[in-house]
C-alpha cells in the first residue's frame, strides 16, 4: 500500500517562508481534506510537492513509499505515482485534450500506448464521465467551463491511476456541476482503495458531497488541527476564525 509522507516541511517563496513545518501522511485508500483560510499556504504545499521551481524547500522531507520525492524531476514524480491537479490549469492552443492525455499516459507508464488501445481507453473513460466525444479534440483548457475542467481532471485520474492524487480545489469555478463531478470522482477513487486523495479546499461546502476520512486544518503554513469528518461540520458552522486568530 502506497504512502505519501510529508515531514516538517519548510518552503520559501522569494525568500519569504510560507510553509513552517508541515506534517501530513496520506495512504492509498484514504481521502484527506486539507482546509484553511486564503493565504494560509495550501497551494504552496501542492506546488512544492509538485516540484514547481519557484518554491524552495528549506528543510524537511517528502517521501512516497520511502523514496525521496524532493530529489525527483517533475516527470519522475508523475512516474512514481503522484498526481497533482492545479488550481489554475494553463491553456495550450494547438494541443488537443486527446494529445495531451496520450502524452501524460506515455510519461507516467514509460511507453506510448498503442493508438488503438489508447483511443478505446479514452472513450471508455469519457463515457463513464458523460463527456461529449468532441471534447477530446478541443484545445487543452481553452474556454473550459468549471465543470469541463473538473471532468478533465477526473478523466486524468481515471487514465493515470496515480497512487496519490493531490487536488487543489479552492475558490475557482466550483459551480454546482463542477462540485458534483469532483465529489463523484473523489468518492469513487477513495472507494477503489488504490489511490490516496488529498483534497485541498477553502470552502467547507464540498464536504457535504465528499466524505473525507481525515480533515486537517491549515493555518499560518502548517497543520494546526486534525480530526475526522466531524471537524468539517464544525468548520462549516464556525469558520476559520479561531485558527487565524491563533496564528496571527
Ligand X SMILES: Nc1ncnc2c1ncn2[C@@H]1O[C@H](COP(=O)(O)OP(=O)(O)O)[C@@H](O)[C@H]1O
Residues interacting with Mg ion, by CB under 5 A? 42-43, 170
Interacting residues with ligand X between 51 and 110 (CB under 6 A): 54
Nearer to Mg ion, 158 or 168 (CB): 168
Asked if residue 204 binds ligand X (CB under 6 A), the reply is: no
How many residues bind ligand X (CB under 6 A)? The answer is 13
Nearer to ligand X, 163 or 202 (CB): 202
41 binds, among ligand X, Mg ion, none (CB under 5 to 8 A by kind): ligand X
Asked if residue 14 binds ligand X (CB under 6 A), the reply is: yes
Radius of gyration of the chain (CA): 18
Asked if residue 18 binds ligand X (CB under 6 A), the reply is: yes
Q: Which residue is nearest to Mg ion (CB)?
A: 43
Nearest approach in angstroms of CB 212 to ligand X is 17
Asked whether the CA dihedral 177, 180, 183, 185 is positive or negative, the reply is negative
Please give the Cα distance from 68 to 42 (Å, whole number): 21
Asked if residue 44 binds ligand X (CB under 6 A), the reply is: yes
Nearer to ligand X, 30 or 168 (CB): 168
* DSSP 8-state class, residue 30: -
Nearest approach in angstroms of CB 31 to Mg ion is 19
Quote the cell numbers at residue 84. 497533482
DSSP string, 147-194: HHHHHHHHHHHHHH--SEEEEE--STT--HHHHHHHHHHHHHHHHHSS
Residue with grid cell 520511502, as numbered in its chain? 66
Amino acid at each position: 500500500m502506497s504512502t505519501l509522507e510529508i515531514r516538517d516541511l519548510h518552503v520559501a517563496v522569494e525568500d519569504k517562508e510560507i510553509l513552517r513545518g508541515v506534517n501530513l501522511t496520506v495512504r492509498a485508500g484514504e481521502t484527506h481534506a486539507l482546509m484553511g483560510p486564503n493565504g494560509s499556504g495550501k497551494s504552496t504545499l501542492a506546488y512544492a510537492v509538485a516540484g514547481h521551481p519557484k518554491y524552495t524547500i528549506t528543510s524537511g522531507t517528502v517521501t512516497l513509499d520511502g523514496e525521496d520525492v524532493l530529489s525527483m524531476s517533475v516527470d519522475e514524480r508523475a512516474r512514481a505515482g503522484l498526481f497533482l491537479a492545479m488550481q489554475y490549469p494553463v491553456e495550450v492552443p494547438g494541443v488537443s485534450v486527446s494529445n495531451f492525455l496520450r502524452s501524460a499516459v506515455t510519461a507516467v507508464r514509460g511507453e506510448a500506448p498503442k493508438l488503438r488501445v489508447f483511443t478505446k481507453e479514452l472513450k471508455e473513460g469519457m463515457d463513464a464521465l458523460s463527456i461529449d466525444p468532441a471534447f477530446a479534440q478541443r484545445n487543452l483548457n481553452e474556454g473550459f467551463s468549471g465543470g469541463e475542467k473538473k471532468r478533465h481532471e477526473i478523466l486524468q485520474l481515471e487514465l493515470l491511476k496515480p497512487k496519490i492524487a493531490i487536488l487543489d480545489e479552492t475558490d475557482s469555478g466550483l459551480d454546482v456541476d463542477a462540485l458534483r463531478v469532483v465529489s463523484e470522482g473523489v468518492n469513487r477513487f477513495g472507494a477503489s482503495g488504490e489511490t490516496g486523495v488529498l483534497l485541498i479546499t477553502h470552502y467547507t461546502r464540498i464536504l457535504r458531497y465528499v466524505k473525507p476520512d481525515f480533515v486537517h486544518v491549515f493555518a499560518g503554513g502548517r497543520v494546526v488541527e486534525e480530526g475526522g469528518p466531524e471537524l468539517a461540520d464544525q468548520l462549516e458552522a464556525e469558520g476559520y476564525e479561531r485558527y487565524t486568530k491563533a496564528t496571527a
